[in-house]
Homo-oligomer: A and B are copies of this chain.
């Protein structure tokens, strides 16, 4: 093959040697991160630039057989494409990922794509280990988002797939969390959810461990617990649930949707792993790692679990969610991710401070709920009609993402029956800017005064 070290030789005599050497030094400098990545298979300390990332993707994708101009392709699926634009959308990996329903199985037609997926899964493990879960053994980037990933985990880990005993064991215990995808994912795979209701503790909604324990029946084979969600729901006591799971030998899956950004939530998971049984932890790649929607990072303290999960997927899948995660890791690096987390913490603090001030002005209060990302403020002084108007006004002012809740109109979202007061929730999530926070509260004030004047 082309030996890049020989460029000097090829042009010696035509270009001065010291210049050629300098060129080689710069080229090597730019290619060195690739070498380190191949050797260490870890998230780089410092960010790569776009050129470097594109070069990596190009080199690997040029190993796949659909790029082989000397091949005779007589299969029915050869990753033929109709337009060069398809190369962009897939990062060059037209064969997707997976083989015969085994996500991480190397695909003989796609050696480059297989290497790409292999590296990516190492980076997935590494980023989790670096940011709170050193007790993780393996991880995989699922080519589907959080909801479908939960289905994947539950199906993969249910007791002896088609055995007789397992017919009864079709119930999954869930600490109430009002998100449609969760319930749909359980329904999707033909299981039955058993939901444990939330209870009020001051402003916060929690699901007491005793209630969970009491809800257990013989049909339950798994329990799903949660960290990140929006107020008034607080994170589950995953450590206690983990102990319970161990004691009762339940499959225990933690949905840590956007929890990687918070070292507090991560610490909870870490001790849950240490204290009992955690089978898989699912996190969204877009909400935690700033990729486009479509993938999830599934981590586990058990390599065997990850293998089972990988084997449960029926067929092949789109490579894009995997490529997107890889791009995020390389373009951020440990350093970049650290910076994002620090900024998130500052923004979260700022959001709370601003809302406390505003709440005072309008005789409301910031609710006392533990949440490292979101802040909730009461809206007791607004009528049903005004609450509705406030939502509309914020939409028109281009504030995206706030939730105005009137529990009397709609219970779903509160995770409890009869939450006492209306409220608004705002997030200072990873990737948000100071300007987002400042203008959001400013516009909230404006919207509030519009509807109340």
Contact = CB atoms under 8 A, between A and B. Distances in A.
A80 interface: yes
B184 A101 contact: yes
A276 interface: no
A118 B15 contact: yes
12 contacts: A1-B27, A30-B62, A72-B400, A73-B401, A74-B428, A77-B284, A83-B327, A83-B331, A89-B327, A95-B293, A145-B317, A318-B318
Nearest to A442: B72
A112 B64 contact: no
Nearest to A330: B83
Contact of A27 (B112, B429, B443): B112
A407 interface: no
Interface in A1-34: 1-7, 10-11, 14-16, 18-20, 22-32, 34
A323 interface: yes
A188 to B, nearest CB: 5
B402 A74 contact: yes
Contacts of A83: 50, 53, 327-328, 331
Contacts of A442: 72
A319 interface: yes
B53 A85 contact: yes
A336 B258 CA distance: 34
Q: How many identical chains are in the complex?
A: 4
A22 to B, nearest CB: 6
A431 interface: yes
Interface residues of A, number: 161
A192 interface: yes
A147 interface: yes
Interface string A30-46: 11101100110000000
A386 interface: no
A328 B443 CA distance: 33
Interface stretch (A246-254, A264-272, A360-368, A433-441): A433-441
A126 B181 CA distance: 30
A51 B58 contact: yes
Interface in A289-318: 289-295, 312-318
Contacts of A68: 25-26, 29-30, 398, 400
Contacts of A427: 74-76
A400 B72 CA distance: 6
Given A2-B31, A89-B323, A106-B16, A436 B96 contact: no
